[in-house]
Structure 1
């Protein structure tokens, strides 16, 4: 009974925010997360460090996010909203040849993985499994589906035109997406060998998804 009374009192003490203020607080938490996650990684960053940097109480944090991992995923989603259109401009929107476009998309994506400080920290600290275990599967699947929606239409057009091969456009898109995760294996592959492995894999996948289709078209003729 006493515990329920305390919880009710704590809830009543929680500040209420206008929509504008909520947006400001959420962005403050994102800014704090971007700085602290790069500095310490997700696991070592504490909720109190995030809220202190954002200028809010610790209890208020949970009005916005269920966990610090959820905050990180939200930061990535915001980041992807700007990144993915740029990746498309540098690849599938720039080149008519699907093989060149797919290779360009993979290389641009890998360049981003290997240069962005926020992504680098998570990769370097091997926190990917921690994030997968901390964020609900349905939430991760929602993020994956949303990211694929950006470039799936291009794959579907190539597929309909017989320019790429695979069981279906979604499988082709997922194959391309999966190859970009080679950045997670950089440490295992080795610093010196990784560039050659990366180049070989990108070229093989881009060619393999398109040249069989070209050969099929040639034999039909």
Structure 2
């Protein structure tokens, strides 16, 4: 039986577990990282793992959510009112976010190593739905500011969320698009999306 932990111990162990798991998942991936390796890295028994998470997939998912938060902060902290050319500033912001996604090892694993399919099977449906809802709410907060400023067309929030979600999963189709033209294709697509969403200046 796993021994009990004080609340303070639980907080410290969970924090350390998140840090160590991020390293192990980044190095070896979700499939090749075992619960034994995760618990050994923080000095607890394998059975104690379930005091903190229901599965290693749940731990992995929490780390992915942390990684995505850094990308969301880029959008939340972006002040369009200070930009001389708002349209170009948002194009640059989207391209920067796409670069962050492509360079993030864990998010790449999620997209390319079938980890998303594993999460679909292993995680409660409501947890995944809550994640998607949070993504949509964050986007709605951002785009509503742009709408209030009168620079963004009135488009249904769910449609906007779907549009940006499609854009951010473009890297999944790099081979089909053609790696040699992928950067230029992505940049052109961002140009067309932003040009289509923004009101024309009078």
Report the TM-score, using the length of structure 2 for normalisation.
0.84
Q: Does structure 1 residue 214 correspond to structure 2 residue 187?
A: no
Q: Which of 39, 43, 55 is the equivalent residue of 1:51? A: 39
Q: How far does the alpha carbon of each residue in 1:150-174 deviate from its partner, in whole angstroms, 9 at most, with x for none?
A: 3422311333454223542342244
Spell out, residue by residue over 1:185-211, the C-alpha distance to the aligned partner (whole angstroms, 9 max, x if none): 22443332221221121111111111x
| 1:174–1:123 CA distance, 2 compared to 1 (3 A) | closer
Q: 2:7 aligned to 16, 19, 27, which one?
A: 19
Looking at structure 2, the residues matched to 198 and 91 of structure 1 have their Cα atoms a distance apart, in angstroms, of 24
Which residue does 2:29 correspond to in 1? Answer: 41
- Gap change, CA 1:158 and 1:177, over 3 Å in 2: same
Tell which deviates more after alignment, 91-100 or 151-160: 91-100
TM-score, normalised via structure 1 length: 0.78
Q: Which runs of 4+ in 1 moved over 6 A?
A: none
Gaps of 5+ in 1: 1-12
Q: Gaps (5+ residues) in structure 2?
A: none
Q: Report the CA distance between 1:45 and its aligned residue.
A: 1.6
CA contact (8 A) 2:101 2:107 kept: yes
Structure number with larger C-alpha Rg:
1
The offset of 1:94, in angstroms, is 5.4
Distance in 1, Cα, partners of 2:132 & 2:161: 11
Tell me the residue number matched to 1:4.
Answer: none
The alignment status of 1:89 with 2:109, answered yes or no, reads no
Q: In the alignment, is residue 157 of structure 1 matched against residue 165 of structure 2?
A: no
SS in 1 for 2:98: helix
Q: Give the 3 Å change call, closer, same or farther, for CA 160–90 of structure 1 in structure 2.
A: closer
Secondary structure, counterpart of 1:62 in structure 2: helix
